Structures are given as C-alpha cells and as structure tokens.
Structure 1
Amino acid sequence: MTTLIHPTALVAPGAKLADDVKVGAYSVIGEHVEIGAGTEIGPHVVIEGHTRIGRDNRIFQFASLGAAPQDKKYAGEPTRLEIGDRNTIREFCTFNLGTIQDAGVTRVGSDNWIMAYVHVAHDCQLGDQIILANNTTLAGHVHLGDWVFLGGFTSVHQFCKIGAHAMTAFTAAVTQDIPPYVTAAGNRAAPNGINSEGLKRRGFSSDTIMAIKRAYKALYRQGLSLDEAKAQLAQMAQTEPAVQLLVDFIAQSERGIIR
C-alpha cells in the first residue's frame, strides 16, 4: 500500500485504505476514514471525520470531504459522510458531515459526476447518476433523486427535494421541490417543460415521454388547482407507471412543489 501513497501525504494510523488506493502529494486522510479499492485521491485533498468512500472513485485536488457541518448547533458529534462507488469529484468540492438533527449522515450515491466548486451541505441525500455542474450549492437536508442534472451556479434551499430525472438551468435558485422529469429555470426557479432529451438518452419510449408530457400539462398548463391536477395524475398513473413517480413525489412534498 505504501508504494501508492505519496511520501508527503499524511495518512492517520487508524485510517482504513484498500491496498490499491492512491493518495496524492500533500493530501491528508483522517483517523476515521475508510476508502475502498481502486479509488484515487489527488494532491492536496483533505478527507476527515467519520467518512466512508467506496470503490473506484476519482477525487481531484483541493477537495474537502468530511469536514464539520456549517451548522452552529453542531457540537462535535460523530456524524458521518458516506460516498458510494465510481463517482468523479472535481476540484474544490466540499462535502460536510451530517448532523444529529437529521439522520446523522450525508450520503452521496454512485456513478455521479460532480464538477468543480460544488458544495454538498450537511444531511444531503444524493442518489445515483447525478450531474452537478460547476458551483452548484446544496444547502442542508437537500434530497436529489437519481439522474438529476443541476446546471452551473444552481442554488438549492435547505430541505428542498428534487425528483428523479429533473433538471435545472444555469443559475437557477430553487426554493421549493422540483417534481421528477421537470426542467426548472430562473430566480426563483419555475417550471419550464420536461427533461425530454434526458429521458430519450435513458431509453424512455416515445409513448412514455408523451405520457409524462400530458402529466406535466395537467400539473402546469391547464389552469387546474393542485388538488385537481393530483386527481388527474392519479388517473393517468393507472395506465402509465412513469406518472406514478410524480404522484408519489407530490404526495410526499413538504415544502410544496414549484408551480
């Protein structure tokens, strides 16, 4: 293992690194860190706290993972950061530990592409296959579903949820939940169609995409109240399973959806 760790790197004795983990120059790995096989840590990276990182991740220089949350209530509790497999984490990203006011863990799934200067605050829960463009900022307790794509400089208010396959435009300011499939833009973020191109790339059939478009129109374009739209979506979901994702998301929304 020592042949893969640069001599200037500082790896605490209690850290658990798989034999083929690479650690670059001047990086610091803390006492309670676990890193899985095939993961590469660039130079000048700091990984601290109770942080567990899976297999085959690539973490670029100057990232900070597992630092204390930016929450004045945090008092040093042994909360956690968990990162899955095959993620790319670019320069100057900051991922914080969770807090005991929530589940006590910040989670990042697998196969995510996270660009430079992204901030993932305490207690965020990220799924798989997500793209976060440069300078995306997630406040505490934000949840992102699978295949979410957030444009550069997107800011997401604490406790917001963004559903699977949703997308934001450059500089979107998200203050309420974004349902699955929906594209949002503006400050404050407003609905702007569905992510049809992304759905095509992921193999959604033309019939399914058309059903999602009809659901979007019921929710946003027909002048229906939210209760009326929810009733229509529930009816559509009986014949189109993809619409059920919308129905379930709206039912569980606590901040309310963008409209």
Structure 2
Amino acid sequence: MSIHPSADIHPSAVIEDGASIGEGCSIGPFCYVGADVQMGPRCTLMSHAIVKGKTVMGEENTVFSFAVVGEIPQDKKFGGEITRLEIGARNRIREHVTVNTGTEGGGSLTKIGDDCLLMAGCHVAHDVIIANNVIVVNSAAVAGHCIIEDDVIIGGLAGIHQFVRIGKGAIIGAVTMVTNDVIPYGLVQAPRGQLDGLNLVGLKRRGVDRSDIMALRAAFQMMAQGEGTFQDRVKRMGEDTDSEYVHRIVEFVSGSTDRSFLTPGG
C-alpha cells in the first residue's frame, strides 16, 4: 500500500493492500478502494464510493456517493481475466454511476478522458472509449465497445447500442435509442434515434466561425439530397470545401465501423 502523507482518509474507509493513493486525496466515510487501484493527486471519493479493479485515475477526479467504478464487466463471456479501466483528469462521476473494466475480446480496456461529467445513475460498459469534455446525463447507458468522441452530450435516459461511434460535438436527445453511428456535430432525437440536423447550438457556443457553420449546413443538405449512396455523397462533399469541420465528417464516415450510419431522414 502506498498512501501519500497528505491524503485525508476517513477511519471507516477500507483501503486494500497494494492500492496507491496520491497527494492531497480525500477519501470519505465507508469508501472502498481495491488493491489494484492507482489514484492520482487530489482525487476525492465521497462517502460510500467504491473504486476497484485494475483502475488508474488521473488528478482531481471526484467520485460521488454510491458510484461503483472499476467493477467487472456485465458480459457473460467474461472469465475473470485481468482487464483495465483508465480515467483521465478532472472528471466528475456522480451518484450511482457504474463504470466497468474492459474484456479480453474487446481490447481489455475501458477508457475515459479528461473533464467529463457522468451524471447520476448513468452506466459506462466494458471496452467503451470516451474522449474529453463528454457529458452523459442522468440514467443514460453506453453499451460495450462504443466510442464517444470529444464534446458529445448524451441526453437523459438515452441508450447507446454496443459498437456505436458518436462523432465529435454531436448531441443525443433524451429518451433516445441510438443503434447506428452518429456523424460529428449531428443532432439525434426521437425514440428510435433519427439524425434530425446539426448541433448548431453547440457549434455556436464553442465559437465556431460562421463560414464553417455555413459549410456544415451545405454539407448536411448534400448528405440528405445528393445522388448515390450515403458514403458517396459524403465523399463528394469533402471535395467541395476546405472546412476542417466538414472534412472531419468525411474522415469519420470513412473510418472503420461495425455499424451503419444514421442518415438524414433515415
């Protein structure tokens, strides 16, 4: 066990031998920290939080009461192999959130980046990769093997099907089931997940230049109404613009995937 002298640990907390607790950490009443956990500087565990498994946390993460971080996957194929969970810096993991480690068949790693907010009751399954500045709202669920890129918002009670990719800056409405990949900056809503437009509010809030927003609007129209397959239309729209935002969509659609894509009007 390695506990930094500056760490503040409540007497009722259980810290297993082998755990590493960094400088300035605060661990509240009735918390549990497993033997293979490495906790970076200035992390906080509120009362009754659980962090276990082969979990590495960066600095300044906060895990709220009754969250369970690093538990084994909810996968019947899991046979007890050693898999990992990596969490970056400055994430807020709210009450009753569950985050599972990976599976051997999925790369053995679940990963969360920096500055994410996982709101109360949401679930992040095995082998999920979440990038930076992602918000998963209350009681949403991200199934196994999903990839969630930067700046995504997933609405409350939404469900993301396994192996789905959600591109940078997209937004998923509340109570929405997403079964196919979502293009960067897409707006998805309705019970069975329809691509209804672009996340214009998010783009404007991030200060995206008006010319790029206009290019994205034109590209979306081409995706919706052009000739040929969806992939053909996306490829052509990248030939007509220098906008990095449009090219990001082209690259995303050209990437490897195990799912189809949500398409305009589809």
TM range (shorter): over 0.9
Alignment match of 1:240 (pick from 243, 254, 257):
243
Would the aligned equivalents of 1:218 and 1:224 in 2 still touch at CA under 8 Å? no
> Deviation of residue 3 (structure 1)?
6.1
For normalisation by structure 2, the TM-score amounts to 0.94
Would the aligned equivalents of 2:170 and 2:199 in 1 still touch at CA under 8 Å? yes
Would the aligned equivalents of 2:169 and 2:185 in 1 still touch at CA under 8 Å? yes
Other-structure match for 1:61: 65
Other-structure match for 1:108: 112
Q: Verify: 1:153 aligned to 2:157, yes or no.
A: yes
Other-structure match for 1:257: 261
Alignment of 1:108-147 (within 5 A): 108-147=112-151
Alignment match of 2:180 (pick from 176, 179, 203):
176
RMSD: 1.3
Runs of 5+ in structure 2 lacking a partner?
none
Give me the identity figure in percent.
Answer: 34
CA–CA distance in structure 2, aligned partners of residues 23 and 128 of structure 1: 25
Would the aligned equivalents of 1:113 and 1:131 in 2 still touch at CA under 8 Å? yes
Q: Verify: 1:78 aligned to 2:82, yes or no.
A: yes
Q: Verify: 1:215 aligned to 2:219, yes or no.
A: yes
Q: Verify: 1:191 aligned to 2:195, yes or no.
A: yes
CA–CA distance in structure 2, aligned partners of residues 221 and 116 of structure 1: 40
CA–CA distance in structure 2, aligned partners of residues 92 and 40 of structure 1: 15
> Deviation of residue 163 (structure 1)?
0.2
Amino acid at match of 1:113: L
CA–CA distance in structure 2, aligned partners of residues 153 and 206 of structure 1: 33
Q: Please state whether the residue corresponding to 2:70 is helix, strand or coil.
A: strand
For normalisation by structure 1, the TM-score amounts to 0.96
Runs of 5+ in structure 1 lacking a partner?
none
CA–CA distance in structure 2, aligned partners of residues 23 and 184 of structure 1: 39
Q: Verify: 1:91 aligned to 2:66, yes or no.
A: no
Q: Please state whether the residue corresponding to 1:187 is helix, strand or coil.
A: coil
CA–CA distance in structure 2, aligned partners of residues 3 and 209 of structure 1: 47
Q: How many residues align?
A: 258
Amino acid at match of 2:251: D
Over residues 1-46 of structure 1, what are the superposed CA-to-partner deviations in whole Å (9 max), with x where a residue is unaligned? 4761010000012100113110010000000000000111111011
